[in-house]
């Protein structure tokens, strides 16, 4: 089995259910708040573990109860957390999430230990990068650390997958050259390219990214599916699985994880995207981040019930 490494963030998610997302100056009431393990990196690692991958997590937490919750969740999912670094004098990252009645979310991240994941931490864990086949990144840890680690992974011949969230104001152009598969959503696509209404100009926006050095681009479009531009087979739209969304918090992270595990098994990008669509479809029908992620057995049963072809 190929080995997958996730380098990225670990947060404690504090999720508040609201009727609608508040506007500036508005105070609203909520009757429910939950605390769960989260963070884009940890969510992806958790999903990989639940889907049966050989996965390790490299990131940073504080020496606090929030880290204990995170480690328990990842370990229960089958993730190797031996490379999660405990930082003194800084808290574990926290994400403040509001989820409205339509299942859409807004997120504010307090970076905490994620903000001090360093180049030295990468150097101290070079062995795990060397032994991995696929390395996945997001952008909730320092950009210089991501660029440094991605360059190393690329030079070592690893497949590099980047989920470019959150998109920084000054996206480092050199990072594009280290990425094999870039997986933005439509909002992130617009921010990366400067193209307004990117969904109406998908070909133009994706071509803009490929000119920067990215090999393959996969744009997730929510209920409208996925736009895939494969350097080998070309571009196409893959429709979404029709479900009623309850909470979209971990949908993108689960999609990235499902994509990676299928690629690790030798599937094509298209096959991987179809499978990832089914995984994220299950996720959005459940509340929570890591708690909403299905196991491989659950996904298999879901696909069989829907008579899907992968």
CATH architecture of the region 3-8+40-90+115-305: 3-Layer(aba) Sandwich (3.40)
* Residues making up the binding site for substrate: 11-13, 39-43, 140, 253
Annotated binding site: 11-13, 39-43, 140, 185, 220-225, 247, 249, 252-253, 277, 283, 286, 288, 292
* Residue 133 annotated to the active site: no
Contacts with 91 (C-beta within 8 Å, 6 or more apart), sequence order: 62, 64, 66, 110, 112, 113
| Active-site residue, selected from the candidate residues 80, 121, 163, 253 | 253
Reported as half-sphere exposure (CB side, CA atoms, 13 A), residue 136 has a value of: 31
pLDDT tens for the chain, residues 1 to 310? 899 999 999 999 898 999 998 889 999 999 899 888 989 999 999 999 999 999 999 999 999 999 999 999 999 999 999 999 999 999 999 988 888 988 787 888 899 999 999 999 999 999 999 999 999 999 999 999 999 999 999 999 999 999 999 999 999 999 999 999 999 999 999 999 998 877 788 999 999 999 999 999 999 998 899 999 998 888 899 998 888 888 887 899 999 999 999 999 999 999 999 999 999 999 998 887 788 899 999 999 999 887 655 5
Q: Enter the tokens of residue 29.
A: 């009431």
Q: Are 139 and 167 in contact (CB under 8 A)?
A: yes
CA distance 13 to 237: 32
Angstrom distances, CA of residue 44 to CA of 22, 284, 296: 28, 15, 14
How many angstroms separate the CA atoms of 213 and 170, rounded?
A: 17
Annotated binding residues for K(+), written as ranges, equal 247, 249, 283, 286, 288, 292
Beta bridge partners of 294: none
Domain boundaries, the chain: 3-8+40-90+115-305
Burial class (CB within 10 angstroms; exposed 0-12, middle 13-18, buried 19+) of 307: exposed
Query: Measuring CA to CA, which residue among 165, 157, 169 is closest to residue 141?
Result: 165
């Amino acid at each position: 089995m190929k080995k997958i490494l996730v380098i990225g963030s670990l947060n404690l998610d504090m999720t508040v259910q609201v009727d609608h997302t508040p506007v500036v100056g508005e105070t609203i009431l909520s009757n429910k708040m939950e605390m769960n393990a989260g963070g884009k990196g940890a969510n992806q690692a958790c999903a990989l573990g639940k889907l049966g991958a050989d996965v390790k997590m490299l990131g940073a937490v504080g020496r606090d109860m929030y880290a204990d919750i995170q480690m328990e969740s990842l370990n229960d999912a089958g993730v190797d957390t031996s490379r999660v670094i405990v930082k003194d004098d800084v808290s574990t990252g926290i994400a403040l999430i509001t989820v409205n009645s339509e299942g859409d979310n807004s997120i504010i991240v307090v970076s905490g230990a994620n903000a001090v994941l360093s180049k030295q931490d990468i150097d101290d864990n070079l062995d795990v990068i060397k032994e991995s086949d696929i390395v996945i990144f997001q952008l909730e840890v320092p950009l210089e650390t991501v660029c440094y680690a991605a360059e190393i992974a690329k030079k070592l011949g690893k497949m590099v997958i980047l989920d470019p969230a959150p998109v920084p104001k000054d996206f480092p152009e050199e990072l594009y050259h280290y990425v094999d598969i870039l997986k933005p959503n439509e909002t992130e696509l617009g921010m990366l390219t400067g193209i307004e209404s990117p969904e109406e100009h998908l070909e133009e926006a994706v071509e803009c990214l490929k000119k920067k050095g990215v090999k393959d681009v996969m744009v997730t479009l929510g209920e409208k599916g996925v736009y895939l531009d494969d350097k080998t087979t070309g571009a196409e739209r893959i429709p979404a699985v029709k479900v009623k969304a309850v909470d979209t918090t971990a949908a993108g992270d689960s999609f990235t994880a499902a994509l990676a595990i299928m690629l690790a098994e030798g599937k094509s990008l298209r096959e991987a995207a179809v499978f990832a669509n089914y995984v994220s479809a299950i996720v959005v029908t459940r509340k929570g981040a890591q708690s909403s992620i299905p196991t491989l057995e659950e996904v298999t049963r879901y696909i069989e019930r829907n008579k899907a072809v992968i």
